[in-house]
Amino acid sequence: MQHLNISKGTDGVATLVLDNADAPMNVISLDFVGEMEEAITGLTTDENVQGVILTSAKSAFMAGADLKFLVSAYDRLTKREHFEFSQKVSGMLRAIERSGKPWVAIIDGLALGGGLELALACHRRIAVDRPGTAVGLPEVNVGLLPGAGGTQRLLRIAGVKAALDLLLSGRQLDTKEAQALKVIDEIVSADEALSSAKSWLATNPDPVKPWDVKGAQAPQKLGILVPADAADYSMAAALVAKRAGYNQPAASAILSTVYEGAQLPFDKALSVESKYFAQLLGSPVARNIIRTSFLSRKAAEKGARRPAGVPKSKIGKVGVLGAGMMGAGIAFVSAQAGIEVILLDRDVPTAEKGRQYSAKVMQKLIVSGKMTEGDAEAILARITATDDFATLAACDLIVEAVFEDLAIKAATTEKAEAVMPENAVFGSNTSTLPISELAKASKRPDQFIGIHFFSPVDRMSLVEVIMGHQTSAETLAKALDFVAQLGKTPIVVNDSRGFYTSRVFQTMIHEGAAMLGEGVPPAVIENAAKAVGMPVGPLVLLDELSFDLPLAIVDQAIEQEGSKYLVPAGVQTLRRMRDEVGRGGRKAGGGFYDYLEDGKKQLWKGLVEHFPEKDDWNIDDLKARFLYTQAIETVRCLEEGVLETKEDADLGSVYGWGFPLWTGGTISYIDTVGTRAFEREADRLAQLHGPRFSPPKLLRDMASNREQFYAAAEQGETVTEDRLAPAGSE
């Protein structure tokens, strides 16, 4: 067997060890299920086996389902086949429960998703007492629900309220909380786990689950007119709306599965769970989330864009030039990754202020129990605050994070290159200034690259790596190695105005400003953006940026490109607000919002005087405009070669500026709509609102040829219907 090892002792105890020979983690796949069915049948019919211990040879018990298979299932299988797959795995676990022999699971490390479902089917669960041991059902985070009995066993073991909390949040439980909720039965040391399991089996326990006892009732408690736990469902429904909005169907499907399943006998409840699982697996939302947030993200972090043939490098010391918010954040994450940091600014007090940013961040982590004081002291000791460029002499990499001004950056580059090692890489943390233009100040432009972090650096995972016209493959490789050391997610783009993330992000905020100029009520604008899944509305984002920044970018583009430049639709609104109304954003005392003394904010009541509201807007039209303007600009970036891969496009949009995760990203969103349907809607929007919505030639060609950006063949192996037949079928 490729996934299991079985040994049988003279004491009547068999040990089944999960040990996937083809991967570092145990996962649920069709091959695994087939082997488990065979093993369960063999152990059940072997008269010499009196009980079974289920354990793992890996560092984790089991990580869950094979995500590549789940992504491929959307395009390759019907919803009926999705249902049958869920029923097949459920049938495997029911075979454990009804084997007539007691099974005990030893959980050492993570037991997540299908891994926990497997353990829940056992008659006893023993957890090893170590920090890495945790359990959970995180399927909601990938747009799914547990499809092998997890919802039904959990609600019957822990109760409806606890089950809804865990299923809707997807959070992990440590051993103590899991035991308190009866998700596990016992916590022991690693040395005691096996003997504890055998001791329990020696008591000849009754291997019948409570829901299989003759005459067992459904767990739903009835009140006079409504279920006794109706309040739990009502609270959960409100939580679903708050967390997931109305674009992600997984949370509401979980709520329905628990509610319906709690009123049914166990096997009927499993069928209900499989029905909702099939609906979700057949939805593009789950496909989009898994593909971008797991498969593409993991590939990027493993070096999908790293040039081949370049030896791996490791940064021992990094110089960070500029100790403002960005520089201080870069210094912190670098020191946290074990890298020595030289944090340099115009004077030592300013540099030290940046160093103390790390201390403030870590103090919060200490208070929350996520970091020890000793670890914090060690991290802070790695950061040296200075104003002396000579201290950069031993740095392997320089990250410049000074003010967004060509002259200031050029002067900083020259000073750093005068002392930094010949083979060191110089990276500029710029969000808009062309890298090739910045590299003109360098004597070694082949070693010059853009390394664009996002704020706040310690919480934002994306790093946009920008290739200048002369940047070498070796420099790109070193930059990606640095990003990998930090544990962040890189995308690679080519040089242009605004690169990718800043360029496309500005289309969203300008669209919001344009809507205000058209007479759409500001609250409607903000809520329309949030309704499609954007984290915040465009007007509050513009206030935080200040109007000077987007207008300066536009003015510079007009100066350099003239009539070729398509001026964003919201510029007129921003100019009017700043120059005529006298409100330029939060830093200027207020913009679209007023900022109150208690830290709260509210939309400025004077907006209606300057932008009279009309009632001819349509909410669906507004929502489409937000999504389409960003997706269309992304296609332009692909067409122009700014972007080279669809995966970078999706990762950058989701993790760079918060394009809705349910879409999978700007390019996955187009595929979800379909290129032909997307083209038709884009043309409609262009007729109504202007040429910024006109589909680029690349999109028109793809629509004409009925092509998608992600071909179905990319999703993984073909799964045939016969391999999905329910257990026991012919």
pLDDT recorded at residue 723? 30
Q: 665 and 648 in contact (C-beta within 8 Å)?
A: no
Rounded Cα distance, 334 and 320, in Å? 10
pLDDT recorded at residue 721? 28
What parts of the chain have a pLDDT lower than 70?
221-230, 241, 243-244, 712-730
Classify 225 as helix, strand or coil. Answer: coil
Q: 237 and 230 in contact (C-beta within 8 Å)?
A: no
pLDDT recorded at residue 727? 34
Burial letters for 222-240: b for 16+ Cβ neighbours within 10 Å, e otherwise?
eeeeebebeebbeebeebb
How far is residue 494 from each of residues 22, 444, 481, measured CA to CA in Å? 36, 18, 18
- Nearest CA among 106, 92, 7 for reference residue 49: 7
117 annotated active-site: yes
Residue 504 is inside which H or E element, if any? helix 501-518
Classify 570 as helix, strand or coil. Answer: coil
Residue 369 burial by Cβ neighbours in a 10 Å radius (0-12, 13-18, 19+): exposed
Domains of the chain by range and CATH?
A: 4-282 (3.90.226.10), 317-495 (3.40.50.720), 502-704 (1.10.1040.50)
Please give the model's pTM, rounded to 2 decimal places. Answer: 0.91
What is the signed CA dihedral for 631, 637, 641, 642, rounded to 10 degrees?
-120
Q: What angle do CA 349, 353, 358 make, to 5 degrees?
A: 145
Residue with tokens 């993984």: 716
Residues 439-460: tens digit of each pLDDT: 999 999 999 999 999 999 999 9
Q: 426 and 392 in contact (C-beta within 8 Å)?
A: no
* Amino acid at the residue 295: L
Residue with tokens 């354990």: 55
Rounded Cα distance, 382 and 392, in Å? 14
139 annotated active-site: yes
- Cα Rg, the chain, nearest whole Å: 29
Count Cβ atoms below 10 Å from residue 25 Cβ, excluding itself: 19
Catalytic residue among 117, 186, 400, 464: 117
pLDDT recorded at residue 718? 31
Catalytic residue among 139, 273, 464, 633: 139
pLDDT recorded at residue 682? 98
Rounded Cα distance, 413 and 426, in Å? 8
Residue with tokens 């459904």: 218
Residues 497-538: tens digit of each pLDDT: 889 999 999 999 999 999 999 999 999 999 999 999 999 999
pLDDT recorded at residue 63? 87
Both tokens of 610, joined, read: 């300057």
Residue with tokens 């329990």: 200
